[in-house]
Amino acid sequence: MSESLTEHDDRWIMNLRGRDVTRISIDHRLTLLLDSDARIALGCPFELSQGSNRTNESVVLDPGRQDVAAALGLFGAKVLSAVAFRTGSMRLVFDNGCHLNSRAHPDYEAWEVLGPEGWRIISRPGGGLAVWPGQTGGRSTDDR
């Protein structure tokens, strides 16, 4: 596997640490473009919260309804952590204190991440992940 994508028993670590959100686009999904040609696209409702304290309120944002105004605060933020769980969930942590959590959707691909070396992870409908390793070659793996 690519050094930018590390497999563990229950998750994949996506090495996006230190990459800035340089552009945010909104259509039927919310897309965060990072300074390394990486892209994070969210097509289903997700949670965004501020701060690491679990008591902080989170807001549910729905890209399909263009209800994503709170996510505009991610512009210029730096990724501290990016984790894709084998369940199909994803957690992103940013240096401005924001936490983005997306769960698998029963019917749709909730999110996808395209990494800077061509690797790709997609949250599969109903749960699980589809993973393509990128430049190192190989086929997609199914983490369902």
Domain-wise residue ranges, the chain: 5-142
The answer on pLDDT for 55 being more than 70 is no
pTM summary value: 0.88
**Tokens of residue 123, six digits:** 């949250």
pLDDT number for residue 98:
96
For the segment 50-66, the average pLDDT, to the nearest whole number, is 80
HEC sequence for 64-113 = HHCECHHHHHHCCCEEEEEEEECCCCEEEEECCCEEEEECCCCCCCCEEE
For the segment 27-45, the average pLDDT, to the nearest whole number, is 94
Amino acid at the residue 56? N
Distances in Å between the Cα of 57 and the Cα atoms of 34, 52, 60 are 26, 11, 10
pLDDT number for residue 53:
56
Quick: pLDDT tens for 85-120: 999 999 999 999 999 999 999 999 999 999 988 999
Give yes or no for a contact between 51 and 62, defined as CB atoms under 8 angstroms apart: no
The answer on pLDDT for 1 being more than 50 is no
Decide: residue 60, CB within 10 A, 0-12 exposed, 13-18 middle, 19+ buried. Answer: exposed
Identify the DSSP state of 124.
Answer: P
Say how far apart CA 37 and CA 127 lie, in whole Å: 26
